[in-house]
């Protein structure tokens, strides 16, 4: 099964793309403060392998590297590092990914608890019937 987790309560900006940090070296990666491979690192902000995240801006840089602005405001990452390999891959369609993440959460904690966070269905009282 592919790794991936969604931080709860994420508001998805219109037109955001969905990515997964899937490094060939299996290591965590420091988030950058600017769209450059050698940019300063953001304080205590990392991507863990398998983490999924939304991107609000994609900038193509030198060597074909695409820089990705994280939607949550933590900073920038990139899809590949010259001489190292793939870092981030475009995730499947957002809706499917959300359903997929929901499905995995449901297996862990039971459907009711998870779904109620996302879909606030009006609760029917027994005497409604």
Model confidence pLDDT, tens digit, residues 57-81: 999 998 899 999 999 899 999 999 9
pTM, two decimal places? 0.64
Runs of H (alpha helix) within 15-93: none
Alpha helices in 1-129 (DSSP H): 94-109, 111-118
For the chain, list the strands marked E by DSSP: 17-21, 29-32, 41-47, 52-60, 66-70, 76-78, 80-81, 85-86, 88-90
Query: Looking at residues 18-44, what average pLDDT do you find?
Result: 93
DSSP state of 25: T
Residue with tokens 């070296």: 25
Task: Give CA–CA dist 66/78, Å, rounded.
Answer: 6
Greater model confidence, 54 or 6 = 54
pLDDT-derived band of residue 33, with 50, 70 and 90 as boundaries?
Answer: very high
d(CA 33, CA 69) in angstroms, rounded, equals 10
Q: What's the CA gap between 114 and 50, in Å, rounded?
A: 21
Q: Find the mean pLDDT for residues 99-115.
A: 58
């Amino acid at each position: 099964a592919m790794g991936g987790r969604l931080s709860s309560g994420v508001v998805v900006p219109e037109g955001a793309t969905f990515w997964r940090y899937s490094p060939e070296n299996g290591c965590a990666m420091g988030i950058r403060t600017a769209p450059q491979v050698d940019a300063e690192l953001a304080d205590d902000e990392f991507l863990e392998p398998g983490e999924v995240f939304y991107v609000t801006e994609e900038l193509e840089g030198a060597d074909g590297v695409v820089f990705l602005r994280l939607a949550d405001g933590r900073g920038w990452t990139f899809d590949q590092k010259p001489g190292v390999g793939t870092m981030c891959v475009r995730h499947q369609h957002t809706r499917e990914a959300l359903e997929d993440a929901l499905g995995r959460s449901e297996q862990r904690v039971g459907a009711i608890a998870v779904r109620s966070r996302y879909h606030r269905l009006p609760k029917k009282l027994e005497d409604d019937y």
